[in-house]
A and B are shown apart, each in its own frame.
Chain A
Amino acid sequence: MWTISKLTFKEIVSKRIFMITIVMTLIFLALYGTAIYFAGKEGAEVGDGGQGTEAILLQQFVSSQLLGVGLYFSSFITALLAILSSVSTISGEVSSHQIDTWLMRPISRSQFVLGKFMGLAFLMIAYAVCLFFSIILLHQGIGTDWMALNLQPMQLIKAVSVFAIQPFVLIAFGLLLSTRMTTLNAGIVSIMLYGAAFIGGFIEQFGALVEKTSLVNIGIIMSLVFPIDSMYRKMTILLFDTADNPLSLAQGGMFTSISTPGNVMVWYAVLYGVVAVILAIYSFKNRDV
């Protein structure tokens, strides 16, 4: 199993798309850092030296919004990379018959699927965690004291843990589709569900703001179908501590949360990923390759 994990990890790293993603990520971080630097510099000069109520509200709004934007974009590119790398992991090898020489070795199909999952999950979670802390470090370090938010270590640990659930779920789901569908079909299904979860998340936030239960319920149902956006929302709650705060959406804009996914939703997402991996093993166990 570890040999398959190792090979999967190395394969993704050796792909050109991964190198392109890393370069684009570095460019994004450089741009983000520049924006944070100037926003912090300009922001400190606005208001009553940062002492008045208006200045504090402005600082909170700009700072949390910029951190939210950075993390939302990080979540988006992590999701895309997780989808693109997982949907082809088995189907691609089946269609090229590359899988034949691996599967004829004395390893079981479940070890093969688990190996693939471990390799992908390790890489993508590592990428997500690095990206998360890069954004936090840039935001807190470059944006001057004016930009810095009061983030406690425990808050960060909890938030990054929930942030990492997103690639975990996406890889498990992509792998499941990859055991039965072609790469193209699995990619389309994953991206459409991701998009639906994204829209469902906004509808839920908007519903919570205007107190429309039906809109909130649509978002919750979408979160149950594909618990990706809800994990991002939960992460912002843990990071900004904005739950049940009527100002939170105004403070954080559309990139933080007002409707709170509970802890049960976190466990649901983890369980969702685990079940997807089990189904992938079951689905691949007896199929012809």
Chain B
Amino acid sequence: MDVIQTNSLTKTYDGKGGISDVTLSVGEGIVYGFLGPNGSGKSTFVRTLLGLLQPTSGEGYILGEPIGTTKSREQVGYLPELFRYPDWLTGKQLLESHADLCKIPVRQRNKRIEEVIELVGMTGRDNGRISGFSKGMSQRIGLACAILNDPKVIFLDEPTSALDPIGRKDVRDLMVYLRDQGKTVFLNSHLLYEVESVCDHVSIVHQGEMIAQGPWRELMMTEAQVEIVTEGSISAPFPPFITDYQKGKAEEGRTRWVVQLETEKDIPKILHHLSSRHIDVYEVKPINPHLEDVFMHWVNRKKESAYVDNQ
């Protein structure tokens, strides 16, 4: 079953900004990355799913329940980007209040609170007032709130924005842990490495539009780059699937090349091509593209198609 499903979900502010026409399905037990630069509409999308914003059009479901209903939020956790908690409460009191709202049975409450406090690395610091917490501690207690009710789906909106490198790693480990527990994590982030390191599926959003989505590995196969070591030179004419190439350093008669192919499927073809021209190949190594490159590829592709449409 799809944990999250939206059909043309749109939220705009007086016809401007926000996010438009998002159709996606998020399966169970994955970390789903919602990737885009600041101001691209990621938070608007999550806040619309959680009923904090009213959709302008379209529809959405969480665990089969229409968004905006209390039922749709029963098994959901959320860490907002702009996390702010009542500073007159202690960390533990905050969790107790949320446990009340989630109707966690009194007998299980303390045990569960202790568990989540330990999971987010706040043991021994939960009895302090939130007013005395650093931003990182507030974000950690926010994470504890988000997972307190053992939700099936957890929305994390820029969950590492206030954390140091150790804290960021802790959160990435926590996301993997939650996924391994069968939970679905919907990660909003503009940090490419964060998405790259934990996400199974990714949507790329730009200027309020979703421009690509799919399994991370498939999205990465936009263009394939291979590093090839040959004896002798590669020379024209080139087959059409080679879109670009760069000559690297030559040592002991062997030359290193970085060749750009249309897709990953063209790797066997280039080997075939080189052997047909009697060029000895000593090494072929695929180069994984960086998320930046993938992101920019999809952004540029969207811009090009928009340009063609306008023409």
Contacts and interface: CB of A to CB of B under 8 A. Distances in A.
A152 interface: no
A96 B52 contact: no
B54 A288 contact: yes
Nearest to B53: A288
How extensive is the interface on chain A, given as a class? Answer: 20 to 34
Interface string B59-95: 0000000000011011010101011111010000000
Given A96-B84, A97-B80, A105 B51 contact: no
Contacts of A20: none
A196 B7 CA distance: 52
Contact of A106 (B54, B80, B97, B102): B102
B106 interface: no
Nearest to A286: B54
A210 interface: no
A289 B50 CA distance: 11
Given A100-B80, A104-B76, A3 B101 contact: yes
Given A100-B47, A288-B53, A105 B102 contact: yes
Given A101-B145, A288-B52, A106 B82 contact: no
Contacts of B83: 97, 101
B101 A107 contact: yes
Given A7-B97, A288-B52, A105 B73 contact: yes
Contact of A105 (B80, B88, B98): B98
Nearest to A4: B101
Contacts of A3: 97, 100-101
A75 to B, nearest CB: 29
Contact of A102 (B47, B74, B82, B101): B101
Could you say which of A7, A101, A103, A108 has the most chain B C-beta atoms within 10 Å of its C-beta? A101
Interface string A90-128: 000000111011111111100000000000000000000
Contacts of A101: 78, 80, 83, 85, 98, 142, 145
B51 A106 contact: no
A263 interface: no
Interface string A254-289: 000000000000000000000000000000001111
Nearest to B102: A105
Nearest to B88: A14
B120 to A, nearest CB: 15
B52 A100 contact: yes
Interface in A179-222: none
B86 A7 contact: yes
Given A3-B97, A11-B88, A288-B53, A104 B78 contact: yes
Interface in B95-131: 97-98, 100-103
A193 B102 CA distance: 40
Contact of B70 (A15, A96, A108, A287): A108
A3 B101 CA distance: 7
A98 B47 contact: no
Nearest to B82: A97
6 contacts: A3-B100, A100-B50, A101-B142, A105-B102, A106-B73, A289-B53
Interface of A: 3, 7, 10-11, 14-15, 96-98, 100-108, 286-289
Given A101-B85, A101-B142, A288-B53, 5 more contacts: A3-B97, A10-B88, A11-B88, A100-B82, A286-B54
